Chain A
Amino acid sequence: MMNIQFGRRHALGLAGGVALGGLASPLVARAQAAPLKIGLVALATGPAATLGTHLRDGFQLGMRHLDGKLGGRAAEVILIDDELRPDAAVTKVRAALERDKVDFVVGVVFSNILAAIMRPVTDNQTFLISTNAGPSPFAGRGCNPFFFATSYVNDQNHAVMGKAAQDAGYGRVMLLAPNYQAGRDSVAGFKSEYKGTVVDEMFTPLTQMDFSAELARIAAARPDAIFTFMPGGLGVNLVRQYRQAGLANIPFLSAFTVDEASLPAQGDAAIGFQTGTSWTPTLPNERNARFVRDFEGQYSYVPASYAAHAYDASMLLDSAIRKTGGNLADKGAMRTAIKAADFQSVRGNFAFGANHFPVQDFWLAKVVKRDDGKFQTEHVRKVYDNVTDPFAAQCRMPAA
């Protein structure tokens, strides 16, 4: 059945080619001039849509800086809202691949969405570039020749804080995370680098809004520091309640809990709280300064790492398409060009490892209030220098 269909389509294509033979050369010329298309998967629905907004604006700023061109070729961005629903994401991404014929799929905030669209995109021999989600299976055994990530492996930010807590000499740490897979991974990631005493681990329901019961337990246990992973609204509630309960003298270490996406709602309560990250708006390099300045000028809010990693993805594509002379058909050449990562990252150091995940620095950062009253994270010290993620060793990159 499959064969017959393929055969028919082929035959039709052949017939069309013969019939239009005389017109072939103008058609080819037009195809050259047609803009290449990027499918940008950016969440725009639900409470977490802010993260998708950061991602979208980061990529769009890159396109502005590149005058709407990637590698010298005009490029069109097709926005795809994954709705944080894997089924919706697959349907829309398939439509983008088959109807719009997108040349690259870029973006994705959440790991479950990335997992859902991974096969549909890469089976289609289309390059998929994640600018945020980095589930460890895709960095290890599930690494893929058509998949790259400009972000990190999810577990890394937690491990960074484990190492930071270890380096800071905290002997007793209390852990707090939501009771679901990513929460348990976070605790495991922290403990992989932290060698001190874990006083207690507290797991809360994902829907919990009031943390007073947990805060009382922290006060009773008096740890040297706490480590937590509370994304989105959870983090807003926890941070403000932690401050209100007068616990802020116990260092607050976190991952994905205080960042520029959540800080507008956390405000003063988050000042001094620490986080592990691959990027902050304050990283001292020229690229980054220009990115942050123009981003704020364009969109009037402080970018988070979701925006920075997406901006890097636009620069990465630009460099790769330039390297191949605009030729998208030779997938092998394109892969080599992407892997070279021949662009200036806003993070400074940036290269791809064998598993197509970044080899980069990780920072301990803390929340500060700027003179203009806005909040941002500020790098404190480098925790890892040019580090490869721990899953890369498990990757046997298949030949495409």
Chain B
Amino acid sequence: MSLTLLLVQGLNGLQLGILLFLIAAGLTLVFGVMDFINLAHGVQYMVGAYLAAYFAAQTGSFWAALALALPAALVVGLVLEFLVFRHLYDRDHMAQVLATFGVILILNDGVKLLFGSAPLQVPMPAALTGGVPIMDGLLYPHYRIAIIAGGLATAALLWWLVERTKVGMLIRAGATNAPMVAALGIDIRRLFMVVFGFGAMLAGFAGVMAAPILSVEPGMGDNLLILAFVVIVIGGIGSVRGAFLAALLVGLVETLGRSMMPDLMRLVLDPSAARQVGAALASMLIYIAMAAILAFRPAGLFPVRAA
């Protein structure tokens, strides 16, 4: 494998990592601050993508769709919080898992009812349709560069919010010891609602950004949710910084593993076996990495909660 190809694959891994970060950031905040397991975070990503598809079809413009889908995703998140999640904060994790799993089923079937089960298409913004030649015969789409830039900007914004603002201070305090924050006279319920709505909007943003390159279809968030959980567990639950680094790590391991594993296996196996074993091994790689990291750092790379 040539160096150029390796660099290209690194870029691909980076981009997958950024997308994962957008989803995992909201998840880690909700899990870390509220100690709330929200399996429905993946469908909120899907809702974002469907909102983008809907608004893009109505307005004919990706940017208008983005501008409309974000507040709409926020509203959907707040409505879910009001109707379902609010009543689960004091319940145990099993009740939360069951209820949020129910939300997955309802929303997955809901979008099918409204939009049908066929994958939808969201056109790419006209200004970003081209690509940069990064190796002989391969374009790197401008839009993917925009995803990387958007993701990095979001990460910076999150860092500023969490580290430099009063709300961020409360969020960090809540992640460390929520009862103490409440005892100090902070309306923890309202803080929870803000965090939840913001997390839903981040997931929705990821959905909008992914819509032009991935197919918009029911259940599209379910696989990413598993990856997002891997990310927040590796990063340390509740840590945005951990989620960022872990997302990049998972993105890189996943992409480089997929592209190099079959070649590595060929050193020890015959070609046809190497392809299949390599492919199977590549899909296990991030879970192996997670197990290895947890063996040395049981609370993840950047543990937040005081043990």
Interface positions of A (Cβ within 8 A of B) = 46-50, 53, 179, 184, 201-205, 207, 209-210, 212-217, 219-220, 222, 232-233, 236-237, 240-241, 244-247, 249-250, 261-262, 264-267
Interface check B110, CB cutoff 8 A: no
Q: Is B213 touching A240 in the complex (CB atoms < 8 A)? A: yes
Known contacts A179-B280, A213-B255; is-contact A50 B117 (Cβ 8 Å)? yes
Chain A nearest CB from B31 CB (Å) reads 23
Give A229 Cβ to nearest chain B Cβ, in Å.
15
Interface residues in chain B, defined as those with a beta carbon under 8 Å from any beta carbon in chain A: 1-2, 4-5, 8-9, 12-13, 15-16, 112, 116-121, 123-124, 131, 133, 135-141, 143-144, 213-220, 223, 255-256, 258-259, 262, 272, 275-276, 279-280, 283
Q: Are A236 and B131 in contact (CB under 8 A)?
A: no
Known: A201-B275, A204-B279. 12 other contacts (CB 8 A): A47-B117, A50-B116, A216-B12, A217-B5, A233-B220, A236-B119, A236-B217, A246-B133, A246-B137, A247-B138, A262-B119, A265-B215
CB closest residue in chain B, given A250: B137
A50 to B135, CA, bound (A): 38
Would you call B138 and A237 a contact (CB within 8 A)? Answer: no
Contact B217–A246 (Cβ < 8 Å): no
- A232, B117: Cα distance in complex, Å: 11
Give the 4 A-B residue pairs with the shortest CB-CB distance, closest first.
A246-B139, A219-B138, A236-B215, A265-B119
- Do the beta carbons of B214 and A237 come within 8 Å of each other? yes
Once A179-B279, A219-B137 are accepted as A-B contacts, the answer to whether A209 and B223 lie under 8 Å apart by CB is yes
CA distance A261 to B143 in the complex (A): 26
Total A-B residue pairs with C-beta atoms closer than 8 Å?
A: 126
A216–B8 touching, CB < 8 Å? yes
Find chain B residues with CB under 8 A from A205 CB. 279, 283
Residue of A nearest to B254 (CB): A213
Q: B218–A47 contact, CB under 8 A?
A: yes
In the complex formed, the residue of B with least CB distance to A266 is B121
A261 to B141, CA, bound (A): 26
A326 to B136 CA separation, bound complex (whole angstroms): 66
B138, A215: Cβ atoms closer than 8 Å: yes
User: Smallest distance from the beta carbon of B121 to chain A beta carbons, Å?
Assistant: 5
A210–B213 contact, CB under 8 A? yes
Q: Is the CB of B137 within 8 A of A210?
A: no
Closest to A48 in B: B117
Q: Is the CB of A244 within 8 A of B120?
A: no
- A220-B135 CB under 8 A given contacts A47-B218, A50-B116: yes
Establish whether residues B275 and A261, one from each chain, have CB atoms under 8 Å apart when the complex forms: no
B254, chain A: closest CB distance, angstroms = 9
Q: Are A265 and B131 in contact (CB under 8 A)?
A: no
User: Which residues of chain A come closer than 8 Å to B119, judged between CB atoms?
Assistant: 47, 232-233, 236, 262, 265
* Partner of A46 from B2, B117, B133, B275 at Cβ < 8 Å: B117
Q: Give the complex CA separation of A127 and B131 in angstroms.
A: 55
Partner of A209, one of B117, B133, B214, B258: B214
Given contacts A205-B283, A216-B9, contact A246 B121 (CB under 8 A): no
Looking at the assembled complex, report how far the CB atom of A227 sits from the nearest CB atom of chain B, in whole angstroms. 15
Residues of A within 8 A of B214 (CB): 209-210, 237
CA distance A213 to B11 in the complex (A): 10
Contacts A213-B259, A216-B5, A233-B217; is A246 near B131 (CB within 8 Å)?
yes
Chain A residues with CB under 8 A of B279: 179, 202-205
* B16→A267 contact, CB < 8 A: no
* Chain B residues positioned under 8 Å from A261 (CB to CB): 118
- In the assembled complex, 12 residue pairs joining A and B whose CB atoms fall closer than 8 Å, in A order, are A209-B220, A210-B16, A214-B258, A216-B9, A216-B259, A219-B137, A222-B137, A237-B214, A244-B143, A245-B140, A246-B138, A264-B118
Residues of B near A203 (CB, < 8 A) are 275-276, 279
Please determine whether A202 and B213 come into contact, CB atoms closer than 8 angstroms: no
B219 and A46 contact, CB distance less than 8 A: yes
Question: Chain B contacts of A250 at CB under 8 A?
Answer: 137
Question: Beyond A47-B217, A216-B259, is A264–B121 a contact (Cβ under 8 Å)?
Answer: yes
Q: How far is the CB of A163 from chain B (nearest CB, A)?
A: 22
Give chain A residues whose Cβ lies under 8 Å from the Cβ of B141: 244-245
Complexed CA–CA distance, A184 and B272 (Å): 11
User: Which of B15, B256, B279 has the most CB atoms of chain A within a 10 A radius of its CB?
Assistant: B279
